[in-house]
């Protein structure tokens, strides 16, 4: 993240959670030094797997989705990013490691 910031590459957090629920951890981790945009459940009508969250983030960053990449940990998140036109890297976690990503 330090390298991306140094290279002036903007970053966003796209979450199906409410922003207020992630902000304490976000600030505790010091991510406010790196993240330019946070898009949460309250910003869109439909959450993941709908692409609205990603489309809103990309618009707020003033980028074309084809010039963006998402790092996702769930099938719903990866599906949303793909439907929005982003390339995706999947990095599962303890709760999503058993999900079947073969359909996306």
Give 39-79 pLDDT, tens digit per residue. 999 999 999 999 999 999 999 999 999 999 999 999 999 99
pTM of the model: 0.93
For residue 27, give both structure tokens: 């600030």
Across all residues in the chain, what is the average pLDDT? 97
CA neighbor of 37 nearest in space, from 58, 8, 65: 58
Instruction: Give the CATH superfamily of 1-90.
Output: HAD superfamily/HAD-like (3.40.50.1000)
Say what the pLDDT of residue 16 is.
Answer: 97
Spell out the domain ranges in the chain: 1-90
Q: Using DSSP, state whether 47 is helix, strand or coil.
A: coil
Q: What is the mean pLDDT of residues 29-35?
A: 96
């Amino acid at each position: 993240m330090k390298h991306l910031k140094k290279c002036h590459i903007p970053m966003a957090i796209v979450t199906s959670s409410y922003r207020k629920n992630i902000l304490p951890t976000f600030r505790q981790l010091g991510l406010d030094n790196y993240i330019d945009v946070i898009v949460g459940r309250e910003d869109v009508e439909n959450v993941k797997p709908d692409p609205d969250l990603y489309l809103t983030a990309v618009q707020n960053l003033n980028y074309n989705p084809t010039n963006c990449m998402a790092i996702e940990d769930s099938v719903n998140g990866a599906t949303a990013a793909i439907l929005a036109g982003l390339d995706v890297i999947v990095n599962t976690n303890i709760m999503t490691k058993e999900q079947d990503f073969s359909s996306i």
